[in-house]
Amino acid sequence: MTHPLDDFDKRILRILQQDASAAMDDIAARVGLSRNACWRRIRLMEEAGVIRGRVALLDAEALGCPLEVMVLIRTSSHAPDWMENFQRIVRAMPEVIGAYRMTGDLDYLLRVRVADMAAYDAFYKRVIARVELSDISASFVMEEIKETTALPV
């Protein structure tokens, strides 16, 4: 945005992070603005890229992918061609719900959702068949302590 977010904007964002389907009248009443003023602020934040989109958060277990895996990757290649190929492959795999290039001992961290160990094994085999890696290992999430998409506004 061309101006910093004020308290109204931040309150609107907190509400939208909890429920992006909240009615405009409800949001306006909760933040103390008129419906039109609230709508204009949301539209401006969308145009500025502060609000990148609105999504539905789904239940992984209900959709058959309850197993969350943190896949730890090391590579000996940091060539641009290798990186582009790796990124293309990862982006095309629906099981990958997050992919991060890291500093430190690991090169990449993938967050993966699958049905079970057999599904993870199939995922693993597809990855190693498509891209050369120095090391790939996995840690399986035993308990989700906190999972949020809400940023501290």
Q: What is the pLDDT of residues 28-64, one digit of tens each?
A: 999 999 999 999 999 999 999 999 999 999 999 999 9
**Structure tokens, 55:** 């999504």
Its pTM stands at: 0.88
* CA separation for the pair 149, 90 (Å, rounded): 21
Tell me which residue has tokens 């789904």.
58
- Start and end residues for every CATH 1.10.10.10 domain found in the chain: 7-47
- Cα–Cα–Cα angle for 107, 53, 95, rounded to 5 degrees: 40
Strand partners, 100: 109
**Structure tokens, 34:** 């008129």
Cα distances from 45 to residues 9, 66, 87, in angstroms, run 8, 34, 29
**Tell me, what's the pLDDT at 4?**
87
CATH assignment, 67-140: 3.30.70.920
**Tell me, what's the pLDDT at 61?**
96
Which residue numbers in the chain have pLDDT < 50? 1
- Start and end residues for every CATH 3.30.70.920 domain found in the chain: 67-140
Check whether domain 7-47 has CATH 1.10.10.60, yes or no: no
- Using the Cα atoms of residue 100, residue 89, residue 125 and residue 141 in order, give the sign of their dihedral: positive
